[in-house]
Chain A
């Protein structure tokens, strides 16, 4: 495995008594698309700013390409940032904005010309070089901001919620473009977002953040299918979370019944939380269902019906179904053993990974 291009080792950041980053250990490999995902205030932008050099960390090491950069100012770090509000220079036209970094670096004129044009071509803004920033749409400004950063060919591109100001349709188009761009350029992207769908769609690897800590890291599929705790399960996608008890390996009890499941490696009778994704629940009749629920409301969402139902214990169940259910009717919910995901309370990521490995290899 190649040496990591960016590495944070035991990084802390405090403002007075408040800790915004707590023992962050992250390492990024070259050429991959990483995402820091978390609610606002979880410290994800702080990590980005620490790597870019806009704030100094209170403890730990920030490494870029194997070199400790804690004391190196932002303008000498080989990373570039795409800012949330783009931060384009309003007194320059598009060309000058993109050429800014190259001129600072004293690149000669013909080279600037070709590199800026290449960068503008890369973000499909070929003929807009002489426009002023104020004459561009939000999506175009976004592309200029990306072009301005990639023209310098940084080892790592940091993107601070760059799509949050765009409307839904444009945002989706830009997601494809960003992914495509990252693969063409082959440089490492570190993308910050609070939008879990965006993170799942774009990333090679996601770091889920909360309260200044990395809760879980892994591929989008891992994180979606095997959330480590209540926070991750709740934040990534929608989920039904009920408390239960682990009777034995592959046997979990909740809602007063015992079900087969695909999880193991816990103490017998350990209290746990059980996650069931809404799209894994099938509406069926009472005889075939494993849980009986009463349908409360259902909303047509276009590609599916979102059904809210309650069981006898007044637990809320969220179901995504392609077919509508009869309202106010009693229906059964069916799910397969592998649809059940069991989470222990307070399990660390290391223990979690070790436990999964211990029984998945069998």
Chain B
């Protein structure tokens, strides 16, 4: 169960990162960044429960997605209550929390460094792998922190979208406290969750101190 929970949290974080990094990177180069940023932030103002119900509407047996597939002549599929649906919706909800720190890190990056890299003969891709990505890692780390830890304890989504088939630490705690009344076990899982959080914090912040991020000037 603990392993299961960590595994799902990892999948959610990876899916989020995969979408967010390119999104943040291209956001940096678009005009009207503030508008796009607002559009990304806005969904976070909507209550999680409402968003979950919206997805039930989309993914359900008579939902928008199945209607669309039906119109194209395909038999209705079971989307809701699958692992894929759970990860999709969880990733959707976490994406803004991943994009923002990465976007900030890329924005802070001195454009002169990109020019310097090209001046020294590096191609666009070499510049990205050797300069842009390493310097935006701090944003990636903050993003991972902001996504991975909450993903460990997701429980409403596991109910509504995962159909209770996905058990995370969050659902386990709720079950032990409210259903089986095994408070001892519930508390233990709570402690495991806290330990997991501490480990993630240490993993994602330690290197920053050793390598010494440059703050005063580039």
Contact = CB atoms under 8 A, between A and B. Distances in A.
A-B interaction: yes
Interface of A: 52-54, 73-76, 79-81, 83, 85-91, 100-101, 104-105, 132-135, 148-149, 152
B112 A104 contact: no
A87 B218 contact: yes
B126 A91 contact: no
Contacts of A152: 120-121
B31 interface: no
Nearest to A133: B214
A104 B120 contact: yes
Q: List 7 A-B pairs, minimum CB-CB distance, nearest first.
A: A90-B214, A101-B120, A87-B112, A87-B116, A134-B214, A74-B118, A75-B118
A285 B3 CA distance: 99
A76 B119 CA distance: 8
B131 A89 contact: yes
Nearest to A100: B120
Contacts of B135: 89-91
Interface of B: 110, 112-113, 115-123, 126, 130-131, 134-135, 211-218
Contacts of A133: 214, 218
Contacts of A75: 118-123
Contacts of B218: 85-88, 90, 133
B121 A87 contact: no
A52 B122 contact: no
Given A74-B115, A88-B116, 14 more contacts: A52-B119, A54-B115, A54-B119, A75-B119, A80-B119, A80-B120, A87-B110, A88-B218, A89-B117, A100-B130, A104-B120, A104-B121, A134-B214, A149-B119
Q: Which of B112, B117, B120, B216 has the most CB of A within 10 A?
A: B120
Nearest to A151: B120
Contacts of A87: 110, 112-113, 115-116, 218
Contact of A100 (B117, B134, B212, B214): B117
A83 B122 CA distance: 16
A74 B119 CA distance: 6
A148 B117 CA distance: 11
B121 A101 contact: yes
Nearest to A76: B121
B115 A91 contact: no
Contacts of A83: 112, 115-116
* Residue of B119, B215, B216 with highest tally of chain A CB at under 10 A: B119
A81 B116 contact: yes
A132 B119 contact: no
Contacts of B119: 52, 54, 74-75, 79-81, 149
Nearest to A98: B120
Contacts of A149: 119-120
Nearest to B119: A81
Contacts of B217: 85
A69 to B, nearest CB: 14
Contacts of A105: 121
Contacts of B126: 104
A324 B44 CA distance: 74
Contacts of A74: 115, 118-119
B216 A134 contact: yes
Contacts of B116: 81, 83, 87-89
B212 A132 contact: yes
A82 B121 CA distance: 14
Nearest to B218: A90
A44 B126 CA distance: 29
18 contacts: A79-B119, A80-B119, A80-B120, A81-B115, A83-B112, A87-B112, A87-B218, A88-B116, A89-B117, A89-B131, A101-B121, A104-B120, A104-B121, A132-B212, A133-B218, A135-B212, A149-B119, A149-B120
